[in-house]
Structure 1
């Protein structure tokens, strides 16, 4: 599956077909002006949920070569609501991450969380990962997701971490292909992600 997931295109809306619930994942996208997310301009009514700032969670089925985004028609086909789809997608992400393996590399200031170069940004939704990270830091975490394949973290009370992450997130966002956000976010135990500062 790692080979199949690498380098997926944004895809299209899933149309009247058999869906494989075990291949539905949460995908983080930045919303552009006018309420459209990058790469989804031609997809009819993709379902989404607001995450933070201009970031939204979309739900897409991994077809092997691309992600097909679920829309209102998909929900009818699946006989599910968005809350049920979100629960399924988060469980699939956790299973996939556990099977594939997450690696965390870096120094005392900043670490990069790696999975498969497609779903790193989605790991921001994985509470089991945050439980481990926050326990290791004994602190809140600062977080950046400048593009879909980058999740960078550091301890929130470390001023060097914040300075490096603020600059790095902006630089990586400006040079990234699948842009999400140049901003730094904060993760507290048991809380939703929020803007830092």
Structure 2
């Protein structure tokens, strides 16, 4: 069963009009040519507009969905070479997986149930789909809205861990999550906070802010002296807002910010309150 390179990123950009912009068909062809040039011996098949199947000589296979690459191109047509280079480089870990299953590169990633549903929809539309096949990526339910997935992070890109990858580690559940969080905390250059106790923004590296909700040691009254219980919002992977369950103004501002913006790498519009059972959906006004 092939691995999927999922490029669902929901870029929020206004398209710039350039002379004779590439159509989806021609952009896909340019991407296919770039892959062939970068990976000698790779078999590249254009499945449809913005969809390409790539296979290596050792039968590793991946399917690239270029919707967001094309959106990036529409926003900045002059950057097409950089865009293609970035997306082509991301194939490396898929076509040349690390046989060691290096748990030291494993980081936690926060997604929502909609993300899982979208992957399943893509799978159902894929050639050779078998409904008896297991879901290709390992994930854990965090609460009724959010899931925790795990990703191998390298210089060339991020690839999601499968159930087989996790089984090879010999650990799962709380131990797996603790190790992935430890990896993340060792990787991040630092964590800072901007704003006030009414509403603050937690900053890290611009990629893993949402994942910080799993770092138990952060979520103390000393760090966040808010009104009521700690409430967080993660509209995007790089945005982590914090306020209090009794701070009416802070909650209102956070929700207005989420509603009035289009977020890249969108996760959820819900708030989540810190309880003894973990993060629970918080929809109170």
Bucket of the pairwise TM-score, normalised by the shorter protein:
0.7 to 0.9
Q: Among residues 180, 203, 210, which one is paired with 1:121 in the alignment?
A: 210
Does the CA contact (< 8 Å) of 2:227 and 2:247 recur in 1?
Answer: no
1:1-197 equivalences under 5 Å are 15=97, 17-32=99-114, 35-36=116-117, 41=122, 45-97=136-188, 100-132=189-221, 136-137=225-226, 139-172=228-261, 175-188=262-275, 190-196=276-282, 197=284
**SS of 2:225 mapped into structure 1:** helix
Superposed CA offset, 1:149-181 (max 9, x none): 100011222111111112222234xx0110100
* CA-CA distance at 1:186 after TM superposition: 1.1
**SS of 2:114 mapped into structure 1:** coil
Instruction: Quote the Cα distance in structure 1 between the aligned partners of 2:136 and 2:177.
Output: 17
Instruction: Quote the Cα distance in structure 1 between the aligned partners of 2:121 and 2:158.
Output: 11
Superposed CA offset, 1:80-133 (max 9, x none): 334432221122123334xx1101001342111010111000011111110255
Greater relative CO, 1 or 2 (CA 8 Å, sep 6+): 1
Instruction: Quote the Cα distance in structure 2 between the aligned partners of 1:153 and 1:170.
Output: 16
Does the CA contact (< 8 Å) of 1:30 and 1:56 recur in 2?
Answer: yes
Does the CA contact (< 8 Å) of 2:197 and 2:224 recur in 1?
Answer: no
Question: RMSD between aligned alpha carbons?
Answer: 3.2
Instruction: Quote the Cα distance in structure 1 between the aligned partners of 2:222 and 2:277.
Output: 14
TM-score scaled to structure 2, two decimals? Answer: 0.56
Measured at CA, do residues 61 and 185 of structure 1 come closer, stay the same or move farther in structure 2, by a change above 3 Å?
Answer: same
Q: Structure 1: which 4+ aligned runs deviate by more than 4 Å?
A: 8-16, 37-44, 132-135
Instruction: Quote the Cα distance in structure 1 between the aligned partners of 2:121 and 2:212.
Output: 21
Larger radius of gyration: 2
* CA-CA distance at 1:61 after TM superposition: 1.2
* CA-CA distance at 1:71 after TM superposition: 0.9
Does the CA contact (< 8 Å) of 1:23 and 1:92 recur in 2?
Answer: yes
Does the CA contact (< 8 Å) of 1:27 and 1:122 recur in 2?
Answer: yes
Instruction: Quote the Cα distance in structure 1 between the aligned partners of 2:230 and 2:95.
Output: 34
* CA-CA distance at 1:73 after TM superposition: 1.6
Instruction: Quote the Cα distance in structure 2 between the aligned partners of 1:70 and 1:145.
Output: 22
Unmatched runs of 5 consecutive residues or more in structure 1: 1-7
TM-score scaled to structure 1, two decimals? Answer: 0.79
Instruction: Quote the Cα distance in structure 1 between the aligned partners of 2:108 and 2:140.
Output: 10
